[in-house]
């Protein structure tokens, strides 16, 4: 049984008068927060408010860049050259770091959002451009990546601190990638089902998939999507179940690094 792991969530995804998720409650439950940077969602005020609550709660914060596609919530691939992806990522990380300086709170890591994350998971050129851009903005940034993907490998090749994540509420394919949204098995909505799968994974290191036998994955962090309707309920249930199983919930970024 894994004895220590992080809980993270994608937060700060509101925009102007449009509200997404219960960030305040989620920030009282998670250890690390991936905060939208104005691409797929967010704006300066949303960033500031989310970062401020995170700082108050002692939650580690990371940048959550995605395609500049608010209408599609960053879940559609926008055709771009790898270098263009890098520039987009750098601009978004810089935006969040600029707002974070006003709180003040330190941005510790980067986690890609949606379609960008899925593309970087399988396309090494995109993954290399993403990691290179992030490290040029700040060489101390850690990379939080989907476990078993090209993005992990790109981060390690660049000498970055790389941490692996699994998803509480997403289905997996046998190649280690996530089941595309809209397909059967893509989402897990039942909190008990999600918690059961996580406890079993932490005991065995094997993740069930929809198209074959369970696969081995590494994990430093577990993501619960903050935009899901049952995010708070699921996160609380996962907390309870993991704690009961003897797992300590703590950020993958050590306090002395923060």
The CATH number given to whatever domain includes residue 229 is 3.20.20.370
Neighbours of 14 (CB within 10 A): 21
- Structural domain includes residue 11: yes
- Structural domain includes residue 28: yes
The reported pLDDT for the residue numbered 143 is 98
- Structural domain includes residue 43: yes
Whole-number Cα distances in Å, 150 to 92, 115, 120, 222: 21, 14, 7, 19
The reported pLDDT for the residue numbered 229 is 75
- Structural domain includes residue 183: yes
The reported pLDDT for the residue numbered 258 is 52
The reported pLDDT for the residue numbered 159 is 98
- Structural domain includes residue 97: yes
- Structural domain includes residue 55: yes
Which range of residues forms the domain containing residue 66?
Answer: 4-249
Give the total number of structural domains in the chain.
Answer: 1
What are the residue ranges in the chain where pLDDT is below 70?
A: 1-2, 255-258
- Structural domain includes residue 254: no
Residues 235/7, Cβ–Cβ less than 8 Å: yes
47-93 tens-digit pLDDT:
999 999 999 999 999 999 999 999 999 999 999 999 999 999 999 99
- Structural domain includes residue 84: yes
């Amino acid at each position: 049984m894994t004895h220590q792991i992080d809980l993270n969530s994608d937060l700060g995804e509101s925009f102007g008068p449009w509200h997404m998720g219960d960030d305040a409650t989620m920030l009282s439950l998670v250890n690390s927060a991936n905060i939208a940077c104005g691409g797929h969602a967010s704006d300066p005020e949303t960033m500031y408010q989310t970062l401020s609550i995170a700082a108050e709660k002692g939650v580690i914060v990371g940048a959550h860049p995605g395609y500049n596609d608010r209408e599609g919530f960053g879940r559609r691939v926008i055709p771009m050259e790898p270098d263009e992806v890098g520039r987009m990522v750098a601009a978004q990380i810089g935006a969040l770091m600029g707002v974070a300086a006003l709180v003040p709170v330190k941005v510790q890591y980067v986690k890609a959002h949606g379609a960008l994350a899925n593309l970087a998971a399988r396309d090494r050129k995109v993954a290399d451009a993403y990691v290179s851009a992030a490290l040029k903005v700040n060489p101390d940034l850690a990379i939080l990546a989907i476990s078993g993907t090209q993005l992990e490998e790109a981060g390690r090749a660049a000498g970055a601190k790389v941490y692996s994540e699994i998803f509480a509420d997403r289905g997996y394919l046998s190649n280690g990638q996530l089941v595309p949204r809209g397909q059967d098995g893509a989402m897990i909505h039942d909190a008990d089902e999600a918690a059961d799968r996580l406890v079993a994974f932490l005991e065995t290191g094997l993740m069930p998939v929809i198209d074959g036998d369970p696969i081995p994955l590494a994990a430093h962090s577990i993501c619960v999507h903050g935009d899901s309707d049952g995010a708070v309920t699921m996160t609380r249930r996962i907390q309870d179940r993991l704690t009961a199983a003897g797992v300590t919930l703590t950020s993958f970024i050590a306090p002395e690094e923060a």
